[in-house]
Amino acid sequence: MKKIFLTAAVVASILVSCKKEEVKTETTSETTEVVAPAEAVATTECYQGIIKKDTISLSIDIKGTEVSSGKLSYKFFEKDKNEGTIKGTMSGDTLFANYTFNSEGQSSEREVVFLKKGNIFIEGYGDVTDGSNGKVTFKDKKKLFFDSKIVLMKVDCK
């Protein structure tokens, strides 16, 4: 009888809890153990697009909706390459990130956006503006275009 009362008290306290997280209980013959939900696991994903003689590479570390770090590289044929880091968030199927890169010996920062469809990322573009801090940002994120000009396919990370 004591075990039933203890188990009922634990279950009732879980149901009354203010947290909206789902909690799983496991009952053994001696005690009741409460197991918290697992935290989101960080994963690394890599993508690459080859358009004629140009290569674009993207690798990102994702944990939940956060892109905590990543690398983005544009290697255009017979032009200086742009290489740098990205950091941002996934909003639904869209990655919004800040891209800090070096090109022609100068450090720059601009906003980038990619639309994820299955195992591909499509780079978006739109009207931009130069901020007072030199960062290039999109004027209106609701007016971005994703027309499949730059498509990055998922590849094995090296």
pLDDT of residue 33: 59
Q: Are residues 19 and 90 in the same domain?
A: no
DSSP code at position 4: H
Number of domains the chain is built from: 2
pLDDT of residue 45: 94
Q: In whole angstroms, what is the distance from residue 76 CA to residue 114 CA?
A: 19
pLDDT of residue 149: 85
Q: Are residues 31 and 51 in the same domain?
A: no
Q: Are residues 83 and 151 in the same domain?
A: yes
* Cβ–Cβ < 8 Å for 9, 25: no
Q: Are residues 30 and 57 in the same domain?
A: no
Query: Does position 21 have pLDDT exceeding 80, yes or no?
Result: no
Q: Are residues 78 and 144 in the same domain?
A: yes
Q: In whole angstroms, what is the distance from residue 136 CA to residue 103 CA?
A: 14
> Average pLDDT of 20-40?
52
Q: Are residues 57 and 109 in the same domain?
A: yes
By the 10 Å C-beta count (0-12 exposed, 13-18 middle, 19+ buried), 4 is classed as exposed
pLDDT of residue 130: 87
Query: Does position 156 have pLDDT exceeding 60, yes or no?
Result: yes
Higher pLDDT, 91 or 36: 91
Q: Are residues 28 and 65 in the same domain?
A: no
Per DSSP, what are the bridge partners of residue 35?
Answer: 24
Range in 12-16, 131-135, 143-147 with the lowest mean pLDDT:
12-16
Tokens of 37: 């939900």
* Cβ–Cβ < 8 Å for 146, 121: no
Q: Are residues 80 and 145 in the same domain?
A: yes
Per DSSP, what are the bridge partners of residue 128?
Answer: 138
Q: Note the pLDDT tens digit of each residue in 100-132.
A: 998 777 888 999 999 999 999 999 999 999 876
Whether pTM > 0.75 for this model: the answer is: no
Domain range for 90 is 43-155
Q: Are residues 116 and 78 in the same domain?
A: yes
Q: In whole angstroms, what is the distance from residue 88 CA to residue 140 CA?
A: 17
Q: Are residues 55 and 89 in the same domain?
A: yes
